[in-house]
Amino acid sequence: MLELIPANKAGLGRQNELYCAEGFSMFELAFILTLAGFVIASVLAVYSLHTDNSAHYARARGGFYASSVLFMLTGVVRFYGDAPAGLLQGTFTIWGFFYIFVALLIFTLIYLNFSRWSAQWKTFAAFALPFISVILAASIPFTGSSRKIILDLSHGLVPVHILVSVLGELFYLMGFAGSVLYLVMEGQLRKKRSMKFIYRFPTLESIENFNRWAISRAFLLLSAGIASGMFMTYTVFGAPFQGTAKEVILYLSWMCILALFTLSRGNAVGPHRRSQLAALAFLVLLGFVLFSNIFIQQGFHSFR
């Protein structure tokens, strides 16, 4: 049984929210089921990699797709009844930022499952599904926040700019994950520990090829995101750069990715050192991103 009651009783920052008879909103129920589904799928994915059991792997993959459907349902319920413009504005609340990021991770995992990297999907899932679970859990304190980025939807390039920029950062994240995996694998091989377990992972050469693939796409997408952003900023404000924290972070990300892209094309720096640099740069930038999203509430890129 559903009824429509004011959202201020739930603190969800919406004017109306669908509620179950038990007192949980439909959003809360869908979110809890989604988070639980991804946690279970994460456990199965990690366990399937550890045991090399195909049955657990099949369950993990099925759990991932089932949880993804629940995740999409959560978004539908969250933004239920919004007009297209209101929907776009709603997804750019601070919780919507988490939602979009997880959605892109999910779509990327689906793509990888059907791409030339499908043979490594078991390894990807063992790392990505726990990460998705952590991101969803981290978004809980912001479900009731009304802070949002104020979007000027009059410029047609806004959706393109946002999409390619976030995708670029997402591929950078994939490169970071690959770099960490490379360092872990290399360290274990040198110490000759858990060799039976290690052989279930991709080879170092495969991981390095994946890192090059991810970084090259991150570079292209983020370059397109910066170019479109500069063009829009120039047409609206008369200058290509406003000096906001998000802009600075985006340019720093691009510079790091450019450096990694350049290094990956030569032999001046080996894959071990490149992986170290990629992991360190990503962690530093991630800290800046989290700080700017949570604590900075001024500027047209900020959640206000």
Domain positions in the chain: 149-304
169 confidence band (pLDDT: 50, 70, 90) = confident
* Measured distance CA(258)–CA(240) in Å, rounded: 20
6 confidence band (pLDDT: 50, 70, 90) = very low
Least confident range from 38-42, 108-112, 219-223, 266-270: namely 266-270
Angstrom CA distances, 122 to 57, 149, 181, stand at 7, 36, 13
Bridge partners, residue 16, by sequence: 6
The SS3 call for residue 81 is: coil
User: pTM score, two decimals?
Assistant: 0.73
* Measured distance CA(51)–CA(55) in Å, rounded: 10
* Measured distance CA(277)–CA(254) in Å, rounded: 14
Bridge partners, residue 148, by sequence: 93
Query: For position 299, what pLDDT does the model report?
Result: 53
Residue 145 and residue 13 in contact, taking contact as beta carbons nearer than 8 Å: yes
Residue 170 and residue 108 in contact, taking contact as beta carbons nearer than 8 Å: yes
* Measured distance CA(53)–CA(287) in Å, rounded: 37
* Measured distance CA(238)–CA(4) in Å, rounded: 46
For residue 125, give the amino acid letter: A
Segments in 52-147 forming alpha helices (H) = 54-78, 84-91, 94-113, 121-138
Bridge partners, residue 25, by sequence: 19
Query: For position 20, what pLDDT does the model report?
Result: 55
Query: For position 191, what pLDDT does the model report?
Result: 72
* Measured distance CA(35)–CA(211) in Å, rounded: 29
Query: For position 68, what pLDDT does the model report?
Result: 95
pLDDT above 70: residue 126: yes
Query: For position 70, what pLDDT does the model report?
Result: 95
Angstrom CA distances, 4 to 9, 26, 32, stand at 11, 10, 20
pLDDT above 70: residue 206: yes
pLDDT, tens digit (0-9, with 9 covering 90-100), for 51-103: 878 888 899 999 999 999 999 999 888 876 444 444 455 456 778 878 888 99
Least confident range from 78-92, 153-167, 210-224, 287-301: namely 78-92
Bridge partners, residue 17, by sequence: 5
For residue 75, give the amino acid letter: G
pLDDT above 80: residue 9: no
pLDDT above 80: residue 46: yes
Angle between helices 158-191 and 245-264 (to 10 degrees): 50
Taking alpha carbons only, the member of 105, 120, 230, 94 closest to residue 174 is: 105
285 confidence band (pLDDT: 50, 70, 90) = confident
Q: What is the mean pLDDT of residues 208-227?
A: 91
* Residues 6 or more apart whose Cβ sits within 8 Å of residue 148: 89, 90, 92, 93, 94, 96, 303, 304
